[in-house]
Amino acid sequence: MKKQHRTLIVVFVAVLTASVASFAMYQAIQRLGVREVEVAHTQVVVAAQTITMGTRLHENHLRLVDWPSRNPVPGAFSDPQKLIDRGVIVPIAENEPITANKVASLEAGWMKVASKATHLLLYVMLVTEAGLGFAFRWGAGRPMAFFGLGIPPLIGELGKALRHSLRDIHEWNGWAIIVLAGLHAAAALYHHYVLKDRVLARMLPVVRQD
């Protein structure tokens, strides 16, 4: 047999062998099927459209999407209701996650006014409570004990009816302070456990971070 014929035969056998092996491998892969890999995910609120600075957020601005749990977005929201009526302080692109540093604080607007008003009212009521206590004691002609010191009366003796009125106002004001302080504490807990913001942390100097 000529050398040229032997070479052709070897090439033909090699190509045939490779073709058979490739076909067998293809059939084996086809029988394996497609294997789906499940990726853990969470839901994140993103912008449903481009949002300009100063926009007040509504439901049509927001959309929930699945986000890989292994790549969390710091400050992201999973509940669109926590963003409703909050103002945008930086431009947000479409499909961009909306984070806490891109929207106005919950203490902005009426919440901030209510918080400041509550603080001021508590201070006024506390000062009033102390003043009523002093007036009631001095009005009866008795000194006021204050940290072990007896402070002599600075006003003249008052009539019995007026002293009773001062005592009643003192008691009602004290109860009002307790109720208002309790509501204030409940509001702080609502921010911490429901809204999950840092209002309570900012109220506690031990854990406050500037």
Number of other CB atoms surrounding residue 203 within 10 Å: 14
Closest CA to 116 of 186, 204, 124: 124
Block residue for tokens 């409570």:
129
Could you tell me the CA-to-CA distances from 100 to 51, 61, 194 in Å, in that order? 15, 16, 15
Retrieve residue 199's tokens: 């209002």
pTM of the model: 0.48
Number of other CB atoms surrounding residue 193 within 10 Å: 9
Query: For residues 155 and 107, which has the higher predicted lDDT (pLDDT)?
Result: 155
The segment with the largest mean pLDDT, out of 22-26, 45-49, 142-146, is 45-49
Query: For residues 21 and 100, which has the higher predicted lDDT (pLDDT)?
Result: 100
Segment 132-153, tens digit of pLDDT = 888 888 888 887 776 777 778 7
Segment 169-209, tens digit of pLDDT = 999 999 999 999 998 888 888 777 766 666 666 666 654 44
Retrieve residue 53's tokens: 């600075």
